[in-house]
Structure 1
Amino acid sequence: MSEIAAADVLASLPARIHQVIDHHVTATPDRPALIEDGASLNYRELDRAVKATADALAALGIRAGDRLMIVSENCIALACLLFAAFRLDAWAIVANPRLSPRELDQIRDHSGARRAYFTAGVSKEAAIHASRYGANVQNVGPLHNIAVSALNQGTAPEPVEADPAKQVAVLIYTSGTTGTPKGVMLTHRNLLFSAATTAWFRRMDAHDKVYVVLPISHIVGISLLIMTLMTGGTVQLVSKYDPAALARAITEEGVTILNGVPATYQRLLEYKRVAGLPKLDRGALRLIAVAGAPLDLDLKSRVEQELGLPLLNGYGITECSPGISGVRFDVPRDDHAVGTLLPGIEARIVGLKGAPVSKGQVGELHVRGPNVMCGYYRAPELTAKAIDAEGWFNTGDLARFEGDCLFIVGRTKEMIIRSGFNVYPAEIEAVLSTHDAVVQCAVVGRAVEGNEEVVAFVQLLQGSNTRPEDLMAHIAPQLTSYKRPSEIIVLDALPATSTGKILKHKLAETLRAG
């Protein structure tokens, strides 16, 4: 596979994300652009829908530089709202409707969102949030059953930048290691560059039909949407994962590319076994990729045997839009490697004291390139800690290189990756600590096949009759499902140093031993 120069990629990019469809609107107007259950838009229709939605948003008081919150599962309406926001130079914040009220309110308050839009007709969770916000269900241009919150009169728009490397397109919120929200500011150039290099890497073109079940509220979902429309292909939008529906889409609906987390493939194989199918028919599928969590080699082998395709491992991070590296489909691997760097991405491995490590040694991975975020919103100190004066971003992950191939060997952060979602222990600990009976607690990850689980250790007030199920009932309304512990273990005392610092590695060892 010949290389492509980053300079050539950058020169080919439009100034704004919504412009990626312009060529296809003229060249292939009748080709399907977006498909969901029972509905579709071709490129001509998508272009008209985005323009009409942008006009409707402007009429509802959305200005360039405003933060616009979209609470939605994957659907056509979400894609239209997102591209309309790009057209207006507003900053889009796509929020998963499965977030708890507390989590959603934190994002709204921190971002200073001008309005929130809920796809109430698609998701009952979005409708519940809409009701809580007092949002009125109405049509937004061509989009039906969109609940629109009241206008935030007190928020000011951010300055608009003509330079696509400076104009923010999306704010993606992560909880951060502190348990408080961090808004990752990704520019139009960040997202366009990452999408274009990944599309090149995968040899994507207008004949591809990409199954997008990973949430567009997260970085991989939004990148898949952009890269597929950029290449003139078709995006099949799926709101919630159902392995039976995925198997049917692969067999009967012409899906050519599937991206997932390890659990996506694990559940697909489980469905095949439970359904008593002799073998999964791979149909037109030509590429299967995985990222977002450590990949179990046994799972990788079983998936490859079943579908007759290499399962391509990759590595990325929200702050890098997300692509950093990937295994190439023309050079598959049978190990844990996350492949070679994408074009235009530089990497270095740094020791604990900041000095470069020798070749092949493990250290902290720092990366640099046009994909690196412009910073964390309203958090200059956090930004300065993450990105140095020369533009190197500290991923916080431990890695090593074998030749030009990257291996991720651990995380310097405590972050748990559950089904592709980032889970930060500090946030769960903060919620657990609000229970009157909890003296102290600690949350760690536990490896399970193809995934990680969240496990909480809790020390209770002496004499308390509180049970793990009581604690679970207390935290469940405050945390989205993937953040809730799989298990809460009550201990008489948590292991700690003489200064009282909890020894989480001891707890993790207990889980491994048990």
Structure 2
Amino acid sequence: MNATIAGTALFAEPRMLVERREDGAILLTSPIPLEEHERCIGMYLEKWAARAPERPFLLERDREGQWVGVTYAEALQKVRRIATWLLQHGVTAEHPVVVLSDNSVEHGLLMLACMHIGVPYSAISPAYSLVSRDHAKLKSLIARLDPSVIYVSDSEKFSAPLEAIKDLHQATLVTSASTAPSEGGVSFSSLLESLDADRVAEAFARIDGDTVAKILFTSGSTSEPKGVINTQRMLCSSQQGKTQLWPFLTETPPVLLDWLPWNHTFGSNHNFNLVLMHGGTLYIDGGKPMPGMFDASIQNLRDVAPTLYLNVPRGFDMLVPALRSDAALRKAFFSRLQVIFYAAAALPQYLWDALIELSRQELGHALPMVTAWGSTETSPLATDCHYQAERSGVIGLPIPGVSLKLLPNGDKLEVRVKGPIVTPGYYKQPDITAKAFDEEGFYLIGDAVRFADPEQPHLGLVFDGRVAEDFKLSTGTWVSVGTLRMKAIEKLAPVAQDIVVAGHDRDSVSLLIFPNAAACKQLAGLPADGAFADALNHEAVRHHVKLALDELRRMGSGTSTFAQRALLMTEPPAVDGGEITDKGYINQAAVLKNRAHLVERLYAVTPDAQVICL
């Protein structure tokens, strides 16, 4: 069960304590005590700057395509200088530093400098600035944060959002050293001009576990973004728990090529901090799992052989075809890979199977395929699957120091979380904070889980969907949205990029499908530049969907387990409508609300020609 490399176990033995209460609640804890951890994230930077000063820490592509960045010693030196500038300019904990741009070396150094002296850092999704048309979310978040500093990579690129928020703050605008500063703003290079080592050291010494490190906004997969307070204790205890379950990290400094945004907990708290804690190297991937951008990620993988590869399901969906068709890429990718890790959403089983098949093909054995579970409020690690599960979807066991409480909720088990990894609340939102915890102090995360095997709890938990997403049909039967969504995506592959399940208070379930444009065109025999509408209306594509609906019905055990109608949507999920997060997770409720007219088409007595029916 425990994966090994060269006969050495990668992970700690999977263990869990189970307590069943008379009221039906089930308490799950790790029998492994959480060991002592550092008081703040900055201690890791200090440590590796002393132990491995010349080791590359943060690297990115420059305009000539070369990898450039900072070593650990250089990073610490620059962090102290940026911290000096912040202190000299009166930046305090009451007015956070905000970053609107994507990941970069400058972004990383500014984040670390803030945390080094106890100034909250908050990165806001670039989509709210560069994709949104009305900038409504950006304006709301800036007004709530009231920042002292705002950093953007390019003032010209961000001119529209900066104009939209100009009356909402008194912040100093900082722009990248590679671009000209805007009027009234300063260049990032000016932050590096002076050093007051004693003053920085004094501020650093005052930081403790309760110090606010970050304010990260929830992705809005089920509601409007909330500002989650991330303390130093949360971040350090999360990484300490990870280290105890993944002891191999202390043997080989991790090398990551990663695109996941630092405005979300997966990329920022899990991946970035994992590299920093263990003195590894992070190559910042300028590509993303999006059409027209993933080629950059593939090129980067040709140059950088990671020891760990972490991504969201959409990233693996685009990676697998490339690995299958390119032997040189496949060889480079697997050359020193130890673990493949997916998170942020459930990985379809066909992608799980494909990655195992590819690793066996290249290495002669299967690499561990693992995941974890949590949220922005749990920094993010609450459970970890530190063993090879039998199939996709097993989220593992509670990490050291964490307790889970499982409560019957309809026909599901709602899960709640408690431990040092949990947020104390939401920034300037006391009303929402008060509603986020139960009477025992467990955080109400809103997810459901089930045991992979009720007779063998140590085999772990399986994610069983969002409690808020499930609904009843008019018959009173509950529809498990997460379960049905995953089955439908598997059966509809490769046509479906994602799926939204409809049917609340209806007689049957229907599907709204976000199509994979490239796959639909290929299935229809059309060129890559062919009309998208022609592909969606092509008989081969529609027949593929109909066969999938038939297969779901054949496998199902009742009307709540399959869909009777489906519609291929022509418009991608909209950022302004809150329909999609940076990590590609679909907000089910937002799509159903924004596209209510499409739902009505699905349930018309006589559906139109575009609706595909059983």
Change (3 A) 1:136 1:324: closer
**Equivalent residue in structure 1 for 2:597, among 490, 494, 512:** 490
What's the secondary structure of 1:47's corresponding residue?
Answer: helix
The aligned runs of 1:409-428 (5 Å cut-off) are: 409-414=464-469
User: Counterparts of 1:448 and 1:2 in 2: how far apart (Å)?
Assistant: 33
The Cα shift of 1:270 comes to 2.8
Larger mean CA deviation between 335-344 and 258-267 belongs to 335-344
Q: 2:37 matched to 1:12?
A: yes
| Cα contact 2:57–2:70 (8 A) shared by 1 | yes
Over residues 345-375 of structure 1, what are the superposed CA-to-partner deviations in whole Å (9 max), with x where a residue is unaligned? 111210239xxxxxxx841001111101111
Q: 2:268 matched to 1:222?
A: yes
TM-score (norm 1): 0.74
Q: 2:308 matched to 1:257?
A: yes
What is aligned with 1:26? Answer: 50
Amino acid at match of 1:337: V
User: Counterparts of 1:294 and 1:511 in 2: how far apart (Å)?
Assistant: 27
User: Counterparts of 1:390 and 1:302 in 2: how far apart (Å)?
Assistant: 43
Amino acid at match of 1:235: L
Q: 2:153 matched to 1:119?
A: yes
| Cα contact 1:326–1:342 (8 A) shared by 2 | yes
User: Counterparts of 1:231 and 1:278 in 2: how far apart (Å)?
Assistant: 27
What is aligned with 1:292? Answer: 344
Change (3 A) 1:225 1:382: same
What is aligned with 2:142? Answer: 108
TM-score (norm 2): 0.63
What is aligned with 2:539? Answer: none
- Tell which structure's C-alpha radius of gyration is larger: 2
The Cα shift of 1:139 comes to 6.4
| Cα contact 1:327–1:333 (8 A) shared by 2 | no
**Equivalent residue in structure 1 for 2:372, among 297, 305, 314:** 314
The Cα shift of 1:150 comes to 7.5
Q: 2:320 matched to 1:269?
A: yes
User: Counterparts of 1:272 and 1:247 in 2: how far apart (Å)?
Assistant: 9
**Equivalent residue in structure 2 for 1:50, among 56, 79, 96:** 79
User: Counterparts of 1:125 and 1:475 in 2: how far apart (Å)?
Assistant: 21
What is aligned with 1:388? Answer: 438
| Cα contact 2:153–2:175 (8 A) shared by 1 | no
**Equivalent residue in structure 2 for 1:448, among 489, 511, 517:** 489
| Cα contact 1:115–1:150 (8 A) shared by 2 | no
The Cα shift of 1:476 comes to 6.5
Larger mean CA deviation between 219-228 and 400-409 belongs to 400-409
Q: 2:188 matched to 1:165?
A: no
User: Counterparts of 1:350 and 1:217 in 2: how far apart (Å)?
Assistant: 31
User: Counterparts of 2:262 and 2:316 in 1: how far apart (Å)?
Assistant: 19
| Cα contact 2:302–2:329 (8 A) shared by 1 | no
Q: 2:381 matched to 1:323?
A: yes
User: Counterparts of 2:447 and 2:300 in 1: how far apart (Å)?
Assistant: 35
Consecutive unaligned residues of structure 1, counting only runs of 5 or more, are 152-159, 354-360, 416-443, 458-467, 497-509
**Equivalent residue in structure 2 for 1:363, among 402, 410, 413:** 413
What is aligned with 1:432? Answer: none
What is aligned with 2:249? Answer: 204
Change (3 A) 1:325 1:137: closer
| Cα contact 1:67–1:91 (8 A) shared by 2 | yes
User: Counterparts of 2:208 and 2:172 in 1: how far apart (Å)?
Assistant: 34
The Cα shift of 1:253 comes to 2.0
User: Counterparts of 2:125 and 2:99 in 1: how far apart (Å)?
Assistant: 9
Amino acid at match of 1:380: P
The Cα shift of 1:284 comes to 1.4
The Cα shift of 1:146 comes to 6.7
Larger mean CA deviation between 275-284 and 36-45 belongs to 275-284
The Cα shift of 1:292 comes to 0.8
**Equivalent residue in structure 2 for 1:378, among 422, 428, 437:** 428
| Cα contact 1:36–1:236 (8 A) shared by 2 | yes
| Cα contact 2:83–2:113 (8 A) shared by 1 | yes
User: Counterparts of 1:409 and 1:148 in 2: how far apart (Å)?
Assistant: 51
Change (3 A) 1:453 1:146: farther
Larger mean CA deviation between 43-52 and 281-290 belongs to 281-290
User: Counterparts of 1:341 and 1:209 in 2: how far apart (Å)?
Assistant: 26
| Cα contact 1:321–1:371 (8 A) shared by 2 | yes
Amino acid at match of 2:161: H
What's the secondary structure of 2:121's corresponding residue?
Answer: strand
| Cα contact 2:92–2:119 (8 A) shared by 1 | yes
User: Counterparts of 1:196 and 1:412 in 2: how far apart (Å)?
Assistant: 30
The Cα shift of 1:258 comes to 1.1
| Cα contact 2:127–2:575 (8 A) shared by 1 | no
Higher strand share: 1
Change (3 A) 1:349 1:54: same
Amino acid at match of 1:343: P
User: Counterparts of 1:195 and 1:276 in 2: how far apart (Å)?
Assistant: 35
| Cα contact 2:118–2:207 (8 A) shared by 1 | no
| Cα contact 2:96–2:122 (8 A) shared by 1 | yes
| Cα contact 1:65–1:89 (8 A) shared by 2 | no
What's the secondary structure of 1:35's corresponding residue?
Answer: strand
The Cα shift of 1:275 comes to 6.1
